[in-house]
Amino acid sequence: MKKVKFIQETLKITQSRQKSYTDVSRKDLEFEVDHWVYLKVLPMKGAMRFGKKRKLSPRYIGPYKISKMIGNVAYELELPQELAAVHLILDRHVRKLRTNKVASLKVLWRNQFVDEATWEADEDMKKRYPHLFESEEIPN
Domain coverage including residue 46: 36-80
Verify that 88 and 76 share a domain, yes or no: no
Q: Looking at the domain assignment, is residue 31 inside a domain?
A: no
Q: Looking at the domain assignment, is residue 97 inside a domain?
A: yes
% of the chain beyond a pLDDT of 90: 14
Verify that 93 and 70 share a domain, yes or no: no
Q: Which residues pair with 40 in a beta bridge?
A: 60
Q: Looking at the domain assignment, is residue 112 inside a domain?
A: yes
Verify that 98 and 111 share a domain, yes or no: yes
CA atoms in the 13 A half-sphere facing the CB of 19: 6
Could you read off the pLDDT of 91-119 as tens digits, one per residue?
888 888 889 888 888 887 776 777 777 88
Residue 49 phi/psi, 5° resolution?
Answer: -115, 120
By CB atoms closer than 10 A (0-12, 13-18, 19+), residue 89 is buried
| In contact, 99 and 114? CB cutoff 8 Å | no
Q: Which residues pair with 104 in a beta bridge?
A: 93, 121
Q: Looking at the domain assignment, is residue 128 inside a domain?
A: yes
Distance CA 72, CA 78 (A): 18
Specify the CATH number for the domain of residue 110.
2.40.50.40
Verify that 89 and 76 share a domain, yes or no: no
Q: Looking at the domain assignment, is residue 75 inside a domain?
A: yes
pTM of this prediction? 0.43
Q: Looking at the domain assignment, is residue 103 inside a domain?
A: yes
Could you read off the pLDDT of 31-54 as tens digits, one per residue?
888 999 888 776 655 444 555 566
Distance CA 119, CA 103 (A): 10
Distance CA 115, CA 93 (A): 17
Domain count, the chain: 2
Q: Looking at the domain assignment, is residue 42 inside a domain?
A: yes
Q: Give me the pLDDT at residue 70, please.
A: 82
Q: Which of 31, 41, 39 minimizes the C-alpha distance to 74?
A: 31
Verify that 73 and 115 share a domain, yes or no: no
Residue 24 neighbours by CB distance under 10 Å: 7
* Mean pLDDT (the chain, rounded): 79
pLDDT bucket at 12, cuts 50 / 70 / 90: very high
Q: Looking at the domain assignment, is residue 56 inside a domain?
A: yes
Instruction: Flag whether pLDDT at 83 surpasses 70.
Output: no
